[in-house]
Structure 1
Amino acid sequence: MRFPAARFLATALLGVALLGCGGPGAGAAAAPTTVKDITVTIKARTVTPPPSRIDVTKGQRVRITVTSDVADQAHVHGYDKAAVLRPGVPGTIEFVAGQSGLFEVETHEQELQLFQLLVR
């Protein structure tokens, strides 16, 4: 059975288009494009909201904003990201969660746990 040239070309182009949908990373979950905003306040050594575990997706952008009533430093362990905290002035840490695992986020001077970041 012979295909007319136009039909063959149309079939070939459809195949190429479908292959394009299955390029590198096909079958893998797409990286989220949203930013995970996490806001924490420290007043009189009390963390609000109380420390908990926060889930994010590997590859997601994370923005942590911390406001403290005393000078300190907020730090994300494992990522080596930090922000200097001045009293009453929000400090921000922003990064892409590129490695999976459970990471502590805490202050250095007051030694307060702010939360745990779970990257899956």
Structure 2
Amino acid sequence: MSGTRKKALLKVIILGDSGVGKTSLMNQYVNRRFSNQYKATIGADFLTRDVNIDDRTVTLQIWDTAGQERFQSLGVAFYRGADCCVLAFDVTNAASFKSLDSWRDEFLIQARYVFELLK
């Protein structure tokens, strides 16, 4: 029976300002590919990668969300069901680092809201 264990799925969302490299981070981790060309994410996109944790296969569903303010309202819907987030910033852009508090707080608010609904 141990060979028929259900595969775990974890939803991970990458958050941060526009242009900090969220898409590049996701593509590098999942596909081992990097591109110097910048193309803004509209809404959100995701890729998956299987990892082994304690002899168990876990599928990471990694969501790349749009960092532009005009798409941030869409991003809130993608927080739903997230198990964790990765906060991304550009080391050459201090403002993108300062924005991390806002990204974290919004994630925690949305996560708490979903948790309260499930009680």
- Shared fold (TM-score greater than 0.5)? no
- Whichever of the two has the greater Rg, that structure is 1
What TM-score, normalized by structure 2, do the two folds share? 0.28
Larger relative contact order (CA 8 Å, sep ≥ 6):
2
More helix by share: 2
